[in-house]
Amino acid sequence: MAEFVKMTGIDKAFSGNQVLKDVSFDVLPGEVHALMGENGAGKSTLIKVLTGIHPRDGGTIEVRGKEVTFSNPKEAERAGIVVIHQELNIIPHLTVAENMFLGKEMTIGKTGILRKKDMYNQTLENLKRLGVTNIDPNETAGNLSVGRQQMVEIARAVSTNAEMIIMDEPTAALTDREIDSLFDVVESLRKQNVSIVYISHRMEEIFKICDRITVLRDGEYVGTERIADTDFEAVVKMMVGRELGERFPARTSEVGETIFEVKGLSRDGWFDDIDFHVKQGEILGVAGLMGAGRTEIMEAIFGAAKKKKGQVILNGKPLNIKHPQDAIRAGIGFITEDRKDEGLVLHLSIRENIALTNMKAISGKGYISSKKEVNLIDDLIERLHVRTTGREQEVKSLSGGNQQKVVIAKWLGIEPRVLILDEPTRGVDVGAKKEIYNIMNELTEQGVAIIMVSSELPEILGVSDRIMVIHEGKVARFLDREEADQEKIMQAATGGE
Ligand SMILES: Nc1ncnc2c1ncn2[C@@H]1O[C@H](COP(=O)(O)OP(=O)(O)OP(=O)(O)O)[C@@H](O)[C@H]1O
Ligand SMILES: [Mg+2]
């Protein structure tokens, strides 16, 4: 079968930093082709070279057997290639329908008068095709959860009738149910002979829906395999160049006294009467469906959400947290799920981003980077394997997964006593995931209490000492590590007995 897209010998450097070296990649009509590799391996860059966001330094691109060079994504779209980017492209102050029709608004003839009703209905229709019925096209997009914004982007791409859709980590922010409906969509697109390029760090997904897989390592092409002919271990080895061993390192810390308590935490319409505690050296996993209120609960604890009642107690003393600064000063760290909006200042360097949290925690005065601090930052970069040209690199130009590592690094710097992690490994590659689990283990060995919100059940089961399941803003169940399994968690998370 002739390739739909064929990229050969692609080279790309950013100011002397070679990020793609002689990379080949081809996609057949109607296949789902996984593009994998560690954070910073060059996946997103390859896609951006294909679609004309970045000019290439060398190599050729063929579409339907004809050599092409797109100078921008619009041209690629006209040739039938659409990308759903890792960084969401939703415009927050526009409505869902306005986002759906951005740049291709429906008007009455050439009058410029918008056919609002039609766009509203078509938006409903596009979302329904994905099995999404709970998003109002008139809602301001910025008010939607990250997962729902993602669904809007996917619906938009699917509605363009593209012949090839590239999904760069589409499921990172989706619930299990949303992922299932996305997979249904992928399946039906495949039947319509649409090609899908699928980028994800979730290995299970790759084996579930992909036909072939291409792996990049360090900007170089490693190989292409048929999914049927390979397995989990082999793919990991292609990606990291060595065996990785156990996916979840054994928990080793000793669990001590209760250090952190939350009592009667409520916010009207969001969550109600939340009671829980965490012990020194313990990891409390927080499971639940997306939208169950987990993030909102954590934000309220941390002083980042507005109204609340209830108590937050550290070392037996009630805290008066009105603002995140109060929480940080008390020794509470919070790694947010949304790195773009809350976690990082994108135009600042890695060093400045890490220093920022520490500055607030320490003084609030000017920040002078001493030798000690620079060492701390270099140490964190090293431990988390942040792929960077150095601590002065702008966070904006890091790969998605490496940005996530900087968010984590920044909170490790404050030496918290209680650390809240919201989806800590989202978008992070297998090797770095394990590194993050190792760091969580080390922290708990030093007595830090960890609260980890995660939508990945294997992760919840793999690293938690205890599990709290949230259902519709209420604590549905606590489970000990020994008794917990996927089924019990899902049952509690969906409101079953
Ligand atoms: N605009 C840019 N300027 C400078 N360097 C860049 C730019 N975009 C990407 N890079 C660098 O290119 C390398 C590859 O990044 P890319 O985003 O392609 O990785 P990725 O494989 O998509 O990783 P991830 O899984 O984390 O998303 C990284 O080292 C990154 O820092
Ligand atoms: Mg990427």
Q: Quick check: is 249 in a domain?
A: no
- When pLDDT is cut at 50, 70 and 90, the band that residue 369 belongs to is low
Which of these three, 205, 240, 275, is where a domain ends? 240
Ligand 1 atom nearest 387 alpha carbon? 29
The C-alpha R_g of the chain, in whole angstroms, comes to: 23
Shared domain for 231 and 277, answered yes or no, is no
One domain for residues 59 and 201? yes
Q: Which of 244, 214, 200, 215 is nearest to 431 (CA)?
A: 244
Same domain, 274 and 146: no
Which residues have CB under 8 Å from 1's CB, separation 6+?
Answer: 28, 29
Residue 107 shares a structural domain with residue 217: yes
Angle between the 371-383 and 350-362 helix axes, to the nearest 10 degrees? 120
Regarding the beta carbon of 232 and ligand 1, being less than 6 Å apart is answered: no
Neighbouring CB atoms inside 10 A of 345's CB total 12
What confidence category does residue 360 fall into, taking pLDDT thresholds of 50, 70 and 90?
very low
CATH of the domain at 115: 3.40.50.300
pLDDT tens digits, one per residue of 14-65: 988 899 999 999 999 999 999 999 988 999 999 999 999 999 999 999 999 9
CB 14 less than 6 A from any atom of ligand 1: yes
Q: What is the mean pLDDT of the chain?
A: 88
**167 and 301 in a common domain:** no
DSSP 95: B
232 and 352 within one domain: no
Distance 40 CA to ligand 1 centre (A): 5
374 Cα–ligand 1 center, Å:
23
Res. 482 pLDDT band, cuts 50 70 90: very high
Please tell me whether residues 133 and 216 are part of one structural domain.
yes
CA distance 336 to 255: 25
Last residue of a domain, one of 191, 208, 240: 240
Domains in the chain, number? 2
Q: Is residue 439 part of a domain?
A: yes
Query: In angstroms, rounded to a whole number, what is the distance separating the alpha carbons of residues 497 and 477?
Result: 10
pLDDT at position 339: 64
Q: Could you tell me the distance, in angstroms and rounded to a whole number, from the CA of residue 19 to the centre of ligand 2?
A: 12
Range of the domain at 113: 5-240
Instruction: State which amino acid sits at residue 225.
Output: E
CB contact at 8 A, 298 and 422: yes
Q: Are residues 32 and 170 in the same domain?
A: yes
Q: How many CB atoms lie within 10 A of CB 448?
A: 24
**pLDDT at position 110:** 73
pLDDT at residue number 341: 60
- Looking at 240, 272, 290, the residue that finishes a domain is 240
Q: Are residues 301 and 235 in the same domain?
A: no
Please check whether residues 200 and 263 belong to one and the same domain: no
Distances 120 to 115, 147, 268, 372 between C-alpha atoms, Å: 9, 20, 30, 56
Q: Which ligand 1 atom sits closest to the C-alpha of 45?
A: 18
220, 264: one domain: no
pLDDT tens string 264-292 = 999 988 899 999 999 999 999 999 987 78
pLDDT at 335: 87
- 251 is a domain residue: no
Is 250 part of any domain? no
Which candidate, 6, 18, 90, places its Cα nearest to that of 50? 6
Q: What's the angle, vertex CA 273, arms to CA 267 and CA 276, rounded to 5? A: 120
Is any ligand 1 atom within 6 A of the Cβ of residue 12? no
Q: Which ligand 1 atom sits closest to the C-alpha of 401? A: 26
CB distance 20 to ligand 1 below 6 Å: no
The CA-atom distances, in angstroms, between 479 and each of 286, 443, 461, 487 are 10, 22, 10, 12
Residue 303 and residue 213 share a domain: no
Q: Report how far ligand 2's centroid is from the alpha carbon of 402 (Å).
A: 9
Report yes or no on 464 lying in a domain: yes
Contact 144, 121 (CB under 8 A): no
Pick from 407, 262, 417, 427: nearest CA to 335 = 407
Q: Please say if the pLDDT value at position 479 is more than 80.
A: yes
Q: Is the CB–ligand 1 distance for residue 199 below 6 Å?
A: no
Q: For residue 247, tell me if it sits in a domain.
A: no
pLDDT at 172: 73
Residue whose CA lies nearest to ligand 1 atom number 18: 42
CB of 424 closer than 6 A to ligand 1?
A: no
pLDDT, position 90:
84
| 388 CA to centre of ligand 1 in angstroms | 9
Tens of pLDDT, residues 150-198: 888 888 888 888 899 999 988 777 777 778 878 888 888 898 899 999 9
Q: Does the residue 253 lie in any domain?
A: no
Separation of 398 CA from ligand 1 center, angstroms? Answer: 5
Ligand closest to 17 (CA) is: 1
pLDDT at 359: 56
| Token pair 């299990």: residue | 176
| Burial tier of 110 (Cβ tally within 10 Å: 0-12, 13-18, 19+) | exposed
Confidence of residue 373 (pLDDT cuts 50, 70, 90): confident
Task: Answer yes or no: are the C-beta atoms of 410 and 354 closer than 8 Å.
Answer: yes
Residue 248 within a domain = no
